[in-house]
Amino acid sequence: MIAPNTAFPAIDPRPEFAGLLKENQQFATGRSEGAGEAFNGWFDQLMLQSGIRTSPGVWLGLCLICSLACGGGLFVISERPFVTAFGAVIGLAFPVVLAIILRSRRQQQIMNQLPAMAEELARTAQSGCNINKSFQLVAADTPSPLGDELRLSARRTEMGMDLATAVRDLPLRTGVATLTMLTSAIAVYQDTGGDLITVLERLATSVRDRLHFVSRLRAATIASRLGAIMMVMVPILVVSFYLFRDPLYLEKLLNSFWGRLSLWLAIGLQIVGCTIVFRILSRSARF
């Protein structure tokens, strides 16, 4: 039976141990189910899975600084509210997009390291070491970024936690769903026994096959993905061209009711189209 997916108990701060515990800064509280709570949880997971060693509050402050810098710079240059607001939105989104790119690269590196790690764990266990000692040795030899997560789980086992519980949140900390197979195999072996070495070897083979399939899929669909990105970028480039050609283009457009209606309708449809396109792209690249 797989170990239940329960949350780790929180350690209550006490005055005599002040300064020992690192403050857990998260925006999601878990006490509501609204859209704001869902967005806060997504932002917290983005910071955790991207490998950025800063708190969500610090990164949000960086977003605000970039927004003020971009918006203020464009306001000094153009002195137009619409351009200023557009620059502020771009500056606000830039750190978030950077964190998403870092998370994607980190997940790709973890997937590439996973087969070799599983094979090394199988060889170490086959040599006669117990599963806890084998995991600690493999965690010490695995390079970052996967090695950082494994070493965190290994330190938990050194503090007395069983291995299945120590590795349970690996998929959550990394965002790599394939690690669920590793944690489930360890939990089943710890609870019921079995041939863990064969399971790890098959896991390594299946992950390699999946990486090969994903690489072939991306090569076969590169034209479709580039076409989708171009479809998103063309309206932005067209508007930028008209603004460069005629700086008063937006002012003329916003002077009429139909101009304002068409502009905001185009912006809304562009946002919906971008959301659909990037959701399709993210699902096709999900591990």
pLDDT tens digits, 30-81:
666 777 778 788 888 888 899 888 888 889 899 999 999 998 888 888 777 7
Sign (positive/negative) of CA torsion 62, 65, 71, 74? negative
In the predicted structure, residue 127 carries a pLDDT above the cut 60? yes
| The pLDDT value given to residue 3 | 42
Q: What is the mean pLDDT of residues 15-30?
A: 61
Tokens for 219, please give them: 């090569």
Q: How does pLDDT run across 68-108, given as a tens digit for each residue?
A: 999 888 888 877 777 788 788 888 989 999 999 999 899 99
* pLDDT in the model for residue 112: 92
Identify which has the larger pLDDT, 212 or 286.
212
Note the pLDDT of residue 31.
66
Name the architecture of domain 111-208. Answer: Up-down Bundle (1.20)
Q: Cα-Cα-Cα-Cα dihedral of 195, 196, 197, 198, to 10°?
A: 60
Closest CA to 203 of 233, 180, 230: 180
- d(CA 141, CA 16) in angstroms, rounded, equals 37
Residue 188 phi/psi, 5° resolution? Answer: -65, -40
Higher-confidence residue of 74 and 117: namely 117
Cis omega (within 30 of 0) on the bond before 143?
Answer: no
Domain locations in the chain as residue ranges: 111-208, 221-287
For every residue of the chain, DSSP letters joined together read -PPP-PPPPPPPP-GGGTTTSPP---S--SS--SHHHHHHHHHHHHHHHTT--S-HHHHHHHHHHHHHHHHHHHHHHH--HHHHHHHHHHHHHHHHHHHHHHHHHHHHHHHHHHHHHHHHHHHHHHTT--HHHHHHHHHHHSPTTHHHHHHHHHHHHHTT--HHHHTTTHHHHH--TTHHHHHHHHHHHHHH---HHHHHHHHHHHHHHHHHHHHHHHHHTHHHHHHHHHHHHHHHHHHHHHHHH-TTHHHHHHTSHHHHHHHHHHHHHHHHHHHHHHHHHHHHT--
What pLDDT does residue 67 have? Answer: 92
pLDDT value at position 10?
55
Rounded to whole angstroms, the maximal C-alpha distance in the chain is 79
What is the Cβ-side half-sphere exposure of residue 43, based on CA atoms within 13 angstroms?
A: 22
